[in-house]
Structure 1
Amino acid sequence: MFRHMAITFLLSQLYCQAKQNRWMRYFTGFNRVALALGFLPSGYVKIAGERFTSLSNNHPMGHYLEALFHTGYYYTFIGVAQMTAAILLLIPRTALLGAMLYFPIILNICILSFSVRFDGSLVSSPLMVLANLYLLCWDYDRLKGILLPDPRTVLVNRSKGVSNEFPLAFFGGGLITVVTVGFTVLNLFDMKPYNTLNDCQQNCRDSRNPAACAEFCDCIHQQGQPLNRCLDAYNRAVAAQPNGTWVAPRK
């Protein structure tokens, strides 16, 4: 019990120090504006009934977005939810509600981007998830009644003035996190469909098996086959010819 109280007290102190820091407040405002700008254009496009992207329907993400476009008012509903979350984020009194609405939407986009290996949001979406989580943590004092309904929760005096000390450790850790996420995501997949056939084929020059890679690009962008089927064919070709020569995979 005492250990729990000590940890809670320490976290509360760190939290209050962050809330009283001018630079952290600037960073919070930046995150709110950046996330809002990420949803306002895409939400408006959906409400206006326009297609969200010019991706080919043969592309895995293109398959999904084309089907989504034809869902009628569900497509519009997503746009309304995105714009609502963005607007709520920009209003200080409703910023927490905006962050709570924003989170499931951006988490879904992040998982979707990874599942179809979509270059367009492969890096940005996990960073947006982290930014959204930061905003939820920023309003921990308003959320703790839901998350930790414990009457023994330690309260820390927050009556001190605003601090102008630059939180070097926080921003240094944040920069390392962004670089780590970006590097990891960009090197996570051996093969990606990329956005166009030309982009995909250019990547084949550095592939373990250029011919198999070219077949993969054709499988995606010309034949419109599912991503997993094209990946399976590519992996079989690479595994069958470890010396780099290539035999066309079975159809």
Structure 2
Amino acid sequence: MTKLEQYYYEAKGNKWFHYFTVCCRVALAFGFIPSGIVKIMGERFTALPANHPLGHYFDALHQTGFYYTFIGVGQLLTAILLIIPRTALLGAIMYFPAILNICILAYATRFEGTRITTLMLLANIYLLCWDYERIKYVLPFKRSNTEIDAAKKKASTSKFPFAFFGGVLATVVLVIVINIFIFEVRPGNSLIECENGCVDSKYPKASKEFCNCIYNQGKPLDKCLEEYKQAKEKEK
């Protein structure tokens, strides 16, 4: 951990890491502001049709009354805390369970937003790591003052961290590529989008039946996936 702390304090003294941190905070904040305002105003959050797997969820959430408003207030408050430097850590801590839930929900419903929610989650984790010095006291690691003081002695630098930003770029590309191949079939955001995806599918007929099952019949995602597997076997 001493070597990791050495790298951490080197990063804390680098202006490029500071710029990247600010960008992450602002980007995450603006990711919550619009959705928070929509919920506070009591409007439906998304244009997804009611028969879409995630549309089912949002419709039910919209009918929860003041709980729906409470979520919007929480998102807006979290965004404001992220933007203010003094409260940025509190905002990052509050943001984490929310974006983790959203990310898992996106994957569970095969939503097209899996890419952006994954990147938002990773950015949030980065912000938590950025404030490691402030949250390390709740972590189960022992630190001697000598080791910590030695790690802090590294001089500040303005050298551009090519390795770090190269890793960031590689991570973004990896998330996009993985999300292209992780699911064999997705419901898309509309019936037209779903059917357009059937053109390049190995099993176009089975894919169209899947889209019909989701949007026209309104069956649950698991049921439609089961029927898709059966139709795929017939099409082979």
* Same fold? TM cut 0.5: yes
- Distance (whole Å) between structure 1 residues aligned to residue 167 and residue 203 of structure 2: 38
Structure 1, residues 39-63: CA drift from partner, whole Å, max 9, x if none?
A: 0000010011111011110101110
Alpha-carbon RMSD: 1.3
Aligned partner of 2:211: which letter?
Answer: C
Q: Write the mapping of 1:175-194 to structure 2, written as runs, cut at 5 A.
A: 175-194=169-188
State the 1:241 CA deviation.
3.4
In the aligned structure 1, how far is the partner of 2:149 from the partner of 2:71?
40
Residue 115 (structure 2) pairs with residue 123 (structure 1): yes
What secondary structure, in the 3-state scheme, does the structure 1 residue paired with 2:198 have?
helix
| Shift of residue 152, structure 1, vs aligned partner | 3.0
SS in 2 for 1:206: coil
TM-score normalised by the chain length of structure 1: 0.90
Aligned to 1:74: 67
Q: Confirm whether residue 18 of structure 1 aligns to residue 11 of structure 2.
A: yes
Aligned residue in 1 for 2:232: 238
Equivalent residue number for residue 214 of structure 1: 208
Q: Which amino acid aligns with 1:234?
A: Y
2:48 maps to 55
Cα contact 1:47–1:79 (8 A) shared by 2: yes
Q: What is the letter of the counterpart of residue 32 of structure 2? A: F
Distance in 1 (CA, whole Å) between partners of 2:143 and 2:167 is 33
1:140 matched to 2:132? The reply is yes
Structure 2 residue aligned with 1:174: 168
Alpha carbons 1:193, 1:220 under 8 Å: kept? yes
Distance in 2 (CA, whole Å) between partners of 1:106 and 1:134 is: 13
> Contact 2:48/2:55 (CA < 8 Å) preserved in 1?
yes
Task: Report which of the two structures shows the higher radius of gyration computed on alpha carbons.
Answer: 1
Q: 1:14 to 1:160 in 2, by over 3 A?
A: closer
How far apart are 1:162 and its partner, in Å? 3.5
Of the two structures, which has the highest relative contact order with CA contacts closer than 8 Å and spacing of 6 or more?
Answer: 2
5+ long unaligned stretches in structure 2: none
Displacement after TM superposition at 1:160 (Å): 5.7
One-letter amino acid matched to 1:13: Q
Equivalent of 1:113 in 106, 109, 113 = 106
Q: Deviations over 1:156-187 (max 9, x none)?
A: 35366531100000000111011001110121
Contact 1:36/1:87 (<8 A) preserved? yes
- Corresponding letter in the other structure for 2:119: L
Give the aligned residue type for 2:18: R
Q: Identify the residue that residue 39 of structure 1 maps to in structure 2.
A: 32
Report percent identity of matched pairs.
Answer: 53
The answer on whether the counterparts of 2:207 and 2:228 sit within 8 Å (CA) in structure 1 is yes
SS state at 2:149 partner: coil
SS at match of 1:49: coil
CA distance in 1, matches of 2:80, 2:108: 29
Aligned-pair CA distance for 1:206: 1.4
Cα distance in 1 for residues equivalent to 2:187 and 2:96: 27
Cα distance in structure 1, aligned partners of 2:50 and 2:88: 37
TM superposition score normalised by structure 2:
0.95
Aligned residue type for 1:150: K
Name the aligned partner's letter for residue 113 of structure 1. A
